[in-house]
Structure 1
Amino acid sequence: MAGRVRLGAVLWVLVAQYFLMLFVVQSRWEVPHSWLRNAISDLGAATCFRSADVDRWVCSPWHVAAGVSWTVAGLCLAAGALLVRPLFPDVRTARAGLALLVVTGLALVVVGLNPEDTRAALHVVGAVVAIPVGEVAMLLTGLALARTERWRLLGCVGVVGAVVAAVALVLMVAQVGGPGLFGLWERIAAFPVLLWAVVCGLVLPAGRRRRLRESGRLSA
């Protein structure tokens, strides 16, 4: 069981490659790329085009790398959620939150495998599921941790992050700021749950080891 938990935590930490690859893929662009205007999905677009509604150029030479990165991140998120269960309190909110993280990860896989410009329908379905479900998952797992003495602060961070992401999602759907701010709201809505998995993968196993040492079940 301990080995499975460690593997799950490692998988969650590996989600961090998602953010590294965003910068790597973006660095290969020769047309202007803006985190305010451009959607995250533009990095995975298989063709080059210019949006008619806003000065938004899309031409991503390393789009395959973006798709692979998103697919790997989704698999790591989903598989990790299945393995890290012992790191969370044995309560309904934690179980539901982890189940929703599996759904979020699988939806991200759909996004990664289906570029926005060649298989738009599947791409949109994946994104529409991944972002709000991920926010609810982050909220539930954060609430579960916030109700414990040891992880109260971490749990509160998760709850606040989920609320901020949800507000950004509302602003994105409401098109506040128009197309020129779509990319900003989308990133604030989508990134927190992935960062949450990385942080939990780093922090929770260390706390579990301390508890085992304190109980005499793990040698120092």
Structure 2
Amino acid sequence: MDGRTRLGAVLWVLVAQYFVLLFVVESRWEVPYSWARNAISDLGAATCFQSDQVDRWVCSPWHVVSGVSWTLAGLCLAAGALLVRPLFPDARTARAGLLLLVVTGLALAVVGLNPEDTSRTLHIAGAVVAIPVGEVAMLLTGLALARTARWRLLGRIGAGGAIVAAVALVLMAAQVGGPALFGLWERIAAFPVLLWAVVCGVALPAKA
């Protein structure tokens, strides 16, 4: 494994800061923040407002931290996908999946740079691309790994996680459970691809 590939794996591991800083930013809220009701984007809201979707006050004092974290995670995901190619099988599914991970990362960066309340159109556009494209990317890279003897289990976990995320996306779009469950479905739909990058960044170089 050369230095470029190792750097790509490190960049994917750095995506983990996304989850750490979610808890940090949430801890600064003065009103209760619910992972079931609140949208992820509420943590990055630049102003305080009454949310019609969750019928509660949204005010995130450390919203800048969220924006920086999401942007950094997106750039790490995209750049890492360009560099870790040698760790994956030489297959069309792997190449397509990695390309879609680049798209996912760039879309996540758009989300981070555009808060939901001040740049709503770009924010929504980034999220609409990042979540479903990320799920397809995770499915393809998982299937590519599942076809190898060494990474069969990891690949199946990735493909299975992508399917679970896709089901959650459908449930979110169908508004199953109403506003009370919007945040839950969104997290199940959006988080797996980021966790997948972190896991691959740790696991794949170990046996490269």
Bin the TM-score by the shorter chain: over 0.9
CA distance in 1, matches of 2:172, 2:203: 31
2:174 partner amino acid: A
For normalisation by structure 2, the TM-score amounts to: 0.99
CA RMSD between the two structures: 0.8
Give the drift of 1:120.
0.0
Distance 2:165 2:54 in 1: 24
Structure-2 change in CA distance of 1:194 and 1:53 (3 Å): closer
Partner of 2:184: 184
CA shift for structure 1 position 55 = 2.8
- How many angstroms apart in 2 are the aligned matches of 1:125 and 1:51? 19
In the alignment, the residues of structure 1 paired with residue 52 and residue 5 of structure 2 have an alpha-carbon distance, to the nearest angstrom, of: 48
Distance 1:42 1:146, change over 3 A: same
How many pairs are equivalent?
208
Q: Is the 8 A contact 1:32 1:57 kept in 2?
A: no
The code of the aligned residue for 2:184 comes to: L
* Partners of 1:47 and 1:68 in 2: CA distance: 16
Structure 1 residue runs of 5 or longer lacking an equivalent are 209-220
- 1:111-133 CA distances to partner (integer Å, 9 max, x unpaired)? 00000000000000000000000
SS for the counterpart of 1:46 is coil
Q: What secondary structure, in the 3-state scheme, does the structure 2 residue paired with 1:191 have?
A: helix
Larger Rg: 1
Structure 2 unaligned regions, length at least 5: none
1:32 aligns to 2:22 (yes or no):
no
Q: Deviations over 1:89-110 (max 9, x none)?
A: 0000000000000000000000
Structure 1 Cα separation of the partners of residues 54 and 66 of structure 2: 23
1:217 corresponds in structure 2 to: none
Moved more, 55-64 or 146-155: 55-64
Runs of 4+ in 1 over 4 A off after TM superposition: none
The correspondence of residues 1-220 of structure 1 with structure 2, limited to 5 A, is 2-208=2-208
| Residue aligned with 2:176, SS | coil
8 Å CA contact 2:168–2:186 kept in 1: the answer is yes
| Separation of aligned partners in 2, 1:109 and 1:89 | 27
Distance 1:189 1:113 in 2: 21
| Identity value in percent | 84
Shift of residue 53, structure 1, vs aligned partner: 4.5
Task: Describe the shift of the 1:53–1:94 C-alpha distance in structure 2 as closer, same or farther (beyond 3 A).
Answer: closer
Query: Which deviates more, 54-63 or 156-165?
Result: 54-63
Distance 1:16 1:96 in 2: 23
Amino acid of the structure 2 residue aligned with 1:182:
F
- Hey, what does 1:218 align to over in structure 2? none
Hey, what's the Cα distance between the residues in 1 that align with 2:186 and 2:4? 33
Residues 37-93 of structure 1: CA deviation (Å, up to 9, x unaligned): 100000000011112353332100000000000000000000000000000000000
Equivalent residues of 1:37, 1:56 under 8 A apart = no
Which residue is equivalent to 1:216?
Answer: none
The answer as to whether partners of 1:33 and 1:57 remain within 8 angstroms in 2 is no
Q: Which amino acid aligns with 2:147?
A: R
